[in-house]
Amino acid sequence: MDSFTINPNLRDQMVAWRRDFHQFPETGWTEFRTASLIASELEKLGFQVQVGKEVVSKEGRMGVPSDEQLEFYYDQAQKNGGKLLYMEKMVGGYTGVVGTLKGNKPGPTIAFRFDMDALEIRESFESSHIPKQFGFRSQYEGNMHACGHDAHCAIGLGLATVLTNNLDQIEGTIKIIFQPAEEGVRGAKSMVEAGVVDDVDYFLGMHVGAGSPLGTLIAGTNGFLATTKINAKFTGKAAHAGAEPEQGRNALLAASSAILGLHSIPRHSMGASRVNVGTCIAGDGRNIVPAHATLQLETRGENSEVHTYVHKQALSVLEGASNMYGIELSYEIVGAAKTCSSSEKLVEVVAQAARNVQGVEEIIPNSKFAAGSEDATYMMDQVQQQGGQATYAIFGTTLAAGHHHEKFDIDEAVLPIALNTWLQTIEQVYKNESR
């Protein structure tokens, strides 16, 4: 086949997309503006577009904001250029988008996944911060694209643009999946349950940065930690701490006991595990027996056996602490991800493809995923279980600060590198399929 033809202005367009998304960062399940603009662009390009409940399962969603929050962010998106035609299908936080392009020749189904959500971080105001300096700092105070998902969206749209302009080169089907709520690993499971990867033969996920320098490509990552995110609520009984303390039931004591117990869970011989209580909010005043306490915690394990063990132990600790102090316990699973390894054959394909990409200076076939967990593993595992191949690549780029930092920013030179690598990967898959 001939190589894909790329418009020389596309790099500037990807930068413009990325900076636009950066200005309007939307957190998980509230990506109304981002998702609707992406859907609109895909439609204009000629993709078959599915949004909302077509690609997001209600039962599979985790950590969904309150109705009031969803309504607020929906109105905010509408005021800032969101496309109502698509937003109306996303009411309630169903912010997934899938674009499908069918070629005129038979071939495999190749899927690319790009996440869209931002973080609850107040972006730096310092004049040296590039987004501030060049006028694309976040306009949503308290929210920020501090992980690079704005760049991922731009790469996805760049890929869609090239493929549309080279339709005669497409063999089989290309699916471009724009996933909500990756932060907190809340979104991928719902899209898997909606069937978006059921027909996929090759699945490719990615991230920019992740500790790798510009010009480095990690063709496949392994060592994802399985994880569960838990919100636990302890409910006791308030009482006057001086006059009748015996009438109260202290939820804060139960939560405190749980925290110590959680961080004391014995390790497992079959692999590494993690437990962390990130927040504890309790009580109403110094002279009141605390009637309520909430914990936000997570468990992780390097394989399913270890994670199942540490997760069950965590629930046992929570229940034991509540029983000890006569406290009611309720908890909710608000995020989860699997452990998964990249398919060796597809890793080789991506590595081979990257050799022809300008700007790629070092190719690392496999590496351990330094960031811990990723819910793309749900999609990877589903594709692999049905006989397909999957990989998760890292495209290195210079960072102004680490991920999830108020000064986070990327070198946008990574955008064409990632785009061209994915285009070359498609070509390499087609070559291999024709042998």
> Which tens digits make up the pLDDT trace of 315-327?
999 999 999 999 9
What pLDDT is stored for residue 369 in this prediction? 74
Show the tokens assigned to 107: 């071939």
Q: State whether 184 and 103 are in the same domain.
A: yes
Show the tokens assigned to 42: 């895909």
Question: Does residue 329 register a pLDDT over 90?
Answer: yes
Residues 75-81: contacts with CB under 8 Å, at least 24 apart: 76/32, 76/33, 76/140, 77/24, 77/26, 77/30, 77/32, 77/33, 77/36, 78/32, 80/24, 80/33, 80/139, 81/24, 81/33, 81/37
Among 312, 337, 362, residue at a domain's last position:
337
266-284 pLDDT, tens digit per residue, is 999 999 999 999 999 999 9
Residue 121 lies in a domain: yes
Question: Does residue 373 register a pLDDT over 80?
Answer: yes
Residue 4 lies in a domain: no
Question: Does residue 391 register a pLDDT over 60?
Answer: yes
CB contact at 8 A, 174 and 51: no
Q: State whether 116 and 167 are in the same domain.
A: yes
300-316 pLDDT, tens digit per residue, is 999 989 999 999 999 99
Q: State whether 298 and 332 are in the same domain.
A: yes
CB contact at 8 A, 170 and 102: yes
Residue 3 lies in a domain: no
The total of other beta-carbon atoms located within 10 Å of residue 240's CB is 12
52-66 pLDDT, tens digit per residue, is 999 999 999 999 999
Residue range(s) defining the domain that contains residue 331: 226-337
Strand 216-222 relative to strand 171-179, pairing: unpaired
**C-alpha of 327 from chain center:** 35
d(CA 335, CA 60): 10
What pLDDT is stored for residue 2 in this prediction? 63
Among 337, 353, 385, residue at a domain's last position:
337
78 class by beta-carbon count within 10 Å (0-12 exposed, 13-18 middle, 19+ buried): middle
Residue 382 lies in a domain: yes
End-to-end CA distance of the chain: 13
The total of other beta-carbon atoms located within 10 Å of residue 344's CB is 14
CATH number at residue 359: 3.40.630.10
Show the tokens assigned to 53: 């409940």
Q: State whether 215 and 182 are in the same domain.
A: yes
DSSP string, 186-229: -SHHHHHHTTTTTT-SEEEEEEE-TTPPTTEEEEEEE-PPEEEE
Q: State whether 198 and 286 are in the same domain.
A: no
pTM: 0.94
Please count the structural domains in the chain: 2
CATH number at residue 274: 3.30.70.360
The DSSP letter of residue 410 is: B
Residue 115 to residues 29, 34, 145, 222, 334, Cα–Cα distance (Å): 11, 11, 11, 19, 18
Residue 350 to residues 151, 207, 339, 346, 414, Cα–Cα distance (Å): 20, 14, 21, 6, 16
d(CA 213, CA 211): 7
d(CA 299, CA 224): 13
Q: Count H helices and E strands in the chain, helices first.
A: 12, 12
Q: Please name the amino acid found at residue 416.
A: P
Angle at the Cα of 318 (from 313 to 320), degrees rounded to 5? 90
Q: Please name the amino acid found at residue 37.
A: L
Q: State whether 202 and 272 are in the same domain.
A: no
Question: Does residue 370 register a pLDDT over 80?
Answer: no
d(CA 340, CA 25): 29
Mean pLDDT score, 336-348? 95
Mean pLDDT score, 161-186? 96
Sheet of strand 328-337: strand arrangement: 273-282, 292-301, 226-235, 328-337
Among 319, 337, 355, residue at a domain's last position:
337
Q: State whether 71 and 191 are in the same domain.
A: yes
65-107 pLDDT, tens digit per residue, is 999 999 999 999 999 999 999 999 999 999 999 999 999 899 9
Strand 292-301 relative to strand 48-51, pairing: unpaired
CB contact at 8 A, 248 and 393: no
d(CA 257, CA 241): 19
Q: State whether 261 and 153 are in the same domain.
A: no
Q: Please name the amino acid found at residue 278.
A: G
Residue 361 lies in a domain: yes
323 class by beta-carbon count within 10 Å (0-12 exposed, 13-18 middle, 19+ buried): exposed
Residue 2 lies in a domain: no
Strand 171-179 relative to strand 105-115, pairing: parallel
What pLDDT is stored for residue 408 in this prediction? 96
What pLDDT is stored for residue 266 in this prediction? 94
Q: State whether 312 and 300 are in the same domain.
A: yes
Which three-class secondary structure string do you get for 369-401? CCCCCCCHHHHHHHHHHCCCEEEEEEECCCECC
Show the tokens assigned to 406: 């108020």
The band of 434, judged by pLDDT with boundaries at 50, 70 and 90, is confident
346-367 pLDDT, tens digit per residue, is 999 999 999 989 999 999 998 8
What pLDDT is stored for residue 1 in this prediction? 56
Residue 75 lies in a domain: yes
Q: State whether 284 and 136 are in the same domain.
A: no
Q: State whether 34 and 176 are in the same domain.
A: yes
Residue 63 lies in a domain: yes
When computed from its CA atoms, the radius of gyration of the chain, rounded to whole angstroms, is 23
Mean pLDDT score, 401-411? 96
Q: State whether 284 and 376 are in the same domain.
A: no
